[in-house]
Chain A
């Protein structure tokens, strides 16, 4: 199962490496959203809850792009039939797709978070180590699990471009709450009380529940 998943994952990464479709688009999109927030809020530097909210909303919107492209290659080139005919179970497919999304998100964040520091962030990223990377990684697990599930749900529908954001964003609200709340004290200009443990706990609970739910129901998607 793991080997099949790794094979599909390698295929997806190779495809992304050659076409350069999702990750550059997602990264470019985050920068554009920063610019939008700069003009929308009319602020040159953000800190505290505003900074944390802008960062997380931007990352989630970028994730929407990644999710809606997750099955694009299979759908457009007809590779999905071959993938479904291959003797791999759906769980491997889910792990591969979620893994690909996870890595895409990491790649985007490696550029997007320092860019945020450069363009909009007031207090600087120095004080956020090592908490912020940990929050980002936990968040990516949750987004990857939900994202792969939503992508598979939407892949077979007619209005999939509409379904993906409408389905994904409400499902990510608990994740947004815990990430934004956990990041907020890290981005404050003056140090204040932190409540990191509670939010990381909630984030972990969210990840566990949705990885399990997604693995359990993924078998019933993408048949025939």
Chain B
């Protein structure tokens, strides 16, 4: 049910990600200010965009779950948030590396995007303790969806607030080269973004398939045990 189109999707992901690596290293020009370090931009920024998209998607799946009462939407929401948290960790690590390389510090408080990402990440980390502190599966799904919706609404608000609060003291690649990113860089960036999105969707489908399969397996095992109990 979830595994439909998984194989072509996986192949497309591999192809696009390979193309991304080729473009990043052989096609995109070196940044005039930052040199080679700027290449991390093609990993860091798409990862951040996809992670935030995943959080918002988790909220939308949560709405669908509460509307329909179909717990498969809760599973979708859970897996989307789960993957986004993993990507989020990647975003914080690559962001720190980039900050160290270009500004000399591992963490820079006046970089609004980094700070708002940390706050969002901290909030979503509570998803696990909340979800697994509820035993009843139906209630667990409902409460998790409520969390996903509230946190999904929080993401854009938080970004606005932090951005307003921080002074723009540091040059940033996106605003520095601005909307007029050189066309080679922009192409590379867009391909990287598509690749990261495909990776996310593929992993999401894979995880859903795996979860679904293990639930089916558990159901079948239980049925066999019941049958054996009756026979004995």
Known A-B contacts A213-B150, A221-B146; A173 and B158 likewise in contact (beta carbons under 8 Å): yes
User: Is A206 within 8 A of B143, CB to CB?
Assistant: no
Interchain nearest-CB distance for B127 vs A (Å): 9
Return the CB mask of A159-176 against B: 1 if under 8 Å, else 0. 110110011001101100
Q: Are A220 and B161 in contact (CB under 8 A)?
A: no
Closest chain A residue, CB of each to CB of B166? A177
State the CA gap A224–B134 with chains docked (Å).
14
Q: Assess the B160–A202 pair: CB atoms within 8 A.
A: yes
Segment of A8-16, A37-45, A150-158 in the binding face: A150-158
| A213 in complex: contacting residue of B133, B153, B161, CB < 8 Å | B153
Point out the residues of chain B lying under 8 angstroms from A162, CB to CB.
Answer: 129
Interface size class of B (residues with CB under 8 A): 20 to 34
Which chain B positions have C-beta within 8 A of A198? Answer: 164
What interface size band does chain A fall in? 20 to 34
Bitwise, A124-160 to B at CB < 8 A (1) or not (0) is 0000000000000000000000000100011011111
Residues of B within 8 A of A173 (CB): 119, 158, 161-162
Q: Is the CB of A166 within 8 A of B142?
A: no
| A174 and B146 within 8 A (CB) | no
List 11 other contacts, CB 8 Å, given A213-B149, A213-B153: A158-B134, A158-B135, A163-B133, A166-B125, A171-B151, A173-B158, A173-B162, A174-B157, A174-B162, A202-B160, A217-B66
- On A, residues with C-beta under 8 Å from B are 149, 153-154, 156-160, 162-163, 166-167, 170-171, 173-174, 177-178, 181, 198, 202, 205-206, 209-210, 213-214, 216-217, 220-221, 223-224
5 A-B interface contacts by CB (under 8 A) = A149-B146, A156-B139, A167-B126, A173-B119, A177-B164
